[in-house]
Chain A
């Protein structure tokens, strides 16, 4: 079975097969040896790749994995031949790029909303200022687009992942 794994915009093609009772793990058609053991009951794993050890932590959310290797974080998506095919077939049916929800990366207090409904914003532009741990943090637009509805107001306490506002991506 072939798997397509996207890790921080880089795609890797893996093949897992068993031939004559022998397990094979291929990355881009090249065989490699991997071993992997969970550490207790935590989402922590010890990985040996061609003899080199790594400590890995992973969390899955909405079909993506957030993977920490040693201290570095990666956003990873795993697809197989079938799920990829399915996605290609349904892609046309989905609405265009559509609405992007800007969510709070942490709980805190809304200090200021820096954009108005209908405003055109650029990717990377600061939209909402949230105070947490005695510091102000600017939440930036992930896309170019137009501000739709705004769900929070100044002075409001918010939870992690609370929707702050909508952006109609362009």
Chain B
């Protein structure tokens, strides 16, 4: 069994991994950048070592330093979390070459799934439905245009090395094809150093449904059901839930089996996620595989009762899976709302600074995976996720009501967050009835989100009282009196008398 894990990450996910390790009696080594000296992961781990300056290119992405720190600290394994180096096949290979266990899939599986065209070919061979389109990158423009017409506009041009929406272009008619191809190529080149682009049928506002899988080194692969992740802003998930209201038991079984085949087809091991798009006619298509632990993994943990971080550690230690597919049960309903340091009333603009006041919700069915605390600084150097609020309920109605209740309870002052946005989603009729797709945020919150500014009168009262109290304390200071706190009424009179 692994006994000492270096966690090559920060924030809430590093904390999450430390917690899993500690419950299993496994030691943890944290690494931190200059600005993360006081961060929670640095202080919760068994050991913590500095690895460089604030920009991730000078700390959390410096492979040599991370591996050297692991060896120096006597770690026998590396957990990458998500983001940073988690889907870097070369790093996975280097970790193993250094004699350390990589808590993730084999490097070849990461590389295979990282190349979108190779992944599409492999999926097709394994009988996993893929979005109609080309299986090879575009080599000849005229040929490509012909293919686009066969598929039927609108089509999507996507970078073979891609991800995160970069090098992606929607082409709605013939005339736009050639210029769009050029932009997609140059964007792909600058983002990934690889200008290969391929064509897919463009699905308008599909739903995004993914399946969690677990695979051990003995060839056992199981799935843990789905997560519905259609509520997105800027192509980034913000609310996730399990189960999905869309899936029938038959569809769940078919998609789950396809996910297992997808994992088997690339020689997968450890925890992974197969993402599918589902169109209006309930056809599902393989989108991509995330070869790591997902941000939204807690909703699966809450509905199945299986701790995914612990499973990752066991699989990486060479222990066979403790569950068969038949033993996996989804119970109740779980929802996650991601709390980002962004201003939902201002186009999700990042908001950095100090968290001055923090009072998270509690009570039945609430879980929070967070990397923040009162007086912690939110830096602009990293992803803006602060925390993940997860609720469980016996059914979807209870879970939605519970999440709304928890978000109403949540107090975080000092910076702006997506808490009011999450609340607005929970109160949205179409969300409540399950009528939504990936176009939801754009449709429902077109005019700025969460602008339920019905508390303007309360804000006015508060500002007046604070203003009067401030005036009173200024008078006290200038008069050098040592009065006790006075009511705003008295001071209102006193201020006037002094003028």
Residues of A within 8 A of B (CB): 1, 3, 5-8, 10, 12, 14, 16-18, 23, 27, 34, 36, 39, 42-45, 47, 49, 54-58, 60, 65, 67-74, 76-78, 82, 105-108, 132-135, 137-138, 160
Answer whether residue B466 sits at the interface, using C-beta atoms and an 8 A cutoff: yes
Tell me the bound Cα distance from A107 to B349 in angstroms: 12
Give the residue name and chain of the B residue nearest to A105 (CB): B349
CB pair B350 A133 closer than 8 Å: yes
CB pair A58 B350 closer than 8 Å: no
Question: Contacts A47-B458, A57-B413, A71-B410 known; A34 to B350 CB distance under 8 Å?
Answer: no
Interface string of B209-223 (1 = CB under 8 A from A): 000000000000000
CB pair A49 B461 closer than 8 Å: yes
Answer whether residue B419 sits at the interface, using C-beta atoms and an 8 A cutoff: yes
| Residues in A whose Cβ lies below 8 Å from that of B416 | 73
Answer whether residue B483 sits at the interface, using C-beta atoms and an 8 A cutoff: no
Tell me the bound Cα distance from A69 to B457 in angstroms: 10
| Residues in B whose Cβ lies below 8 Å from that of A10 | 456-457, 460
CB pair A54 B380 closer than 8 Å: no
Answer whether residue B142 sits at the interface, using C-beta atoms and an 8 A cutoff: no
B interface residues, tally (CB under 8 Å):
55
Partner of B380 from the list A1, A27, A78, A132 (CB cut-off 8 Å) is: A132
Question: Contacts A18-B493, A58-B466 known; A70 to B352 CB distance under 8 Å?
Answer: no
CB pair A7 B456 closer than 8 Å: yes
Give the residue name and chain of the A residue nearest to B413 (CB): A57
CB pair A67 B459 closer than 8 Å: yes
| Residues in A whose Cβ lies below 8 Å from that of B450 | 72
11 further A-B contacts with Cβ under 8 Å, apart from A54-B462, A58-B462, are A8-B453, A47-B458, A65-B466, A67-B463, A69-B455, A71-B423, A72-B450, A72-B455, A73-B416, A107-B352, A132-B380
CB pair B462 A56 closer than 8 Å: yes
CB pair A106 B357 closer than 8 Å: no
Residues of B within 8 A of A (CB): 234, 341, 343, 345-347, 349-352, 356-357, 380-384, 407-408, 410-414, 416-417, 419-420, 423, 450, 452-453, 455-468, 470, 487-490, 492-493, 496, 499
CB pair B459 A23 closer than 8 Å: no
- A-B contact list, 11 entries, CB within 8 Å: A23-B487, A27-B461, A42-B356, A45-B465, A49-B458, A65-B467, A71-B417, A73-B416, A133-B380, A134-B382, A134-B383
CB pair A133 B356 closer than 8 Å: no
CB pair B380 A106 closer than 8 Å: yes
CB pair B461 A68 closer than 8 Å: no
CB pair A76 B459 closer than 8 Å: yes
Tell me the bound Cα distance from A50 to B345 in angstroms: 28
CB pair A43 B356 closer than 8 Å: yes
CB pair A39 B357 closer than 8 Å: yes
Question: Contacts A17-B489, A57-B357 known; A5 to B463 CB distance under 8 Å?
Answer: yes
CB pair B455 A133 closer than 8 Å: no
| Residues in B whose Cβ lies below 8 Å from that of A70 | 408, 411, 455
CB pair A72 B453 closer than 8 Å: yes
State the total of A-B contacts with C-beta under 8 angstroms: 155
CB pair B417 A7 closer than 8 Å: no
Question: Contacts A8-B456, A18-B493, A71-B420 known; A132 to B352 CB distance under 8 Å?
Answer: yes
CB pair A57 B414 closer than 8 Å: yes
| Residues in B whose Cβ lies below 8 Å from that of A134 | 382-383
CB pair B380 A36 closer than 8 Å: no
Partner of B459 from the list A69, A71, A135 (CB cut-off 8 Å) is: A69
Give the residue name and chain of the B residue nearest to A139 (CB): B349
Tell me the bound Cα distance from A49 to B467 in angstroms: 17
Give the residue name and chain of the A residue nearest to B489 (CB): A23
| Residues in A whose Cβ lies below 8 Å from that of B345 | 73
A72 to chain B, nearest CB (A): 5
Partner of A133 from the list B352, B357, B458 (CB cut-off 8 Å) is: B352
Tell me the bound Cα distance from A131 to B499 in angstroms: 48
| Residues in A whose Cβ lies below 8 Å from that of B414 | 57
The 6 closest A-B pairs by CB, nearest first: A57-B413, A74-B459, A76-B463, A7-B460, A71-B420, A5-B460
Q: With a 10 A CB-CB cut-off, give which of B410, B492, B493 has the most chain A CB atoms.
A: B492
| Residues in A whose Cβ lies below 8 Å from that of B420 | 71-72
Give the residue name and chain of the B residue nearest to A40 (CB): B357
Tell me the bound Cα distance from A77 to B224 in angstroms: 54
A36 to chain B, nearest CB (A): 5
CB pair A1 B496 closer than 8 Å: yes
A73 to chain B, nearest CB (A): 7
CB pair A68 B413 closer than 8 Å: yes
Tell me the bound Cα distance from A10 to B456 in angstroms: 8
Partner of A18 from the list B411, B453, B490 (CB cut-off 8 Å) is: B490
| Residues in A whose Cβ lies below 8 Å from that of B457 | 7, 10, 12, 27
Give the residue name and chain of the B residue nearest to A76 (CB): B463
Give the residue name and chain of the A residue nearest to B423 (CB): A71
Question: Contacts A43-B356, A132-B380 known; A106 to B351 CB distance under 8 Å?
Answer: yes
B417 to chain A, nearest CB (A): 7
CB pair A58 B357 closer than 8 Å: no
Tell me the bound Cα distance from A60 to B413 in angstroms: 14
CB pair B464 A14 closer than 8 Å: yes
Question: Contacts A36-B462, A132-B380, A135-B350 known; A57 to B489 CB distance under 8 Å?
Answer: no
| Residues in B whose Cβ lies below 8 Å from that of A108 | 380
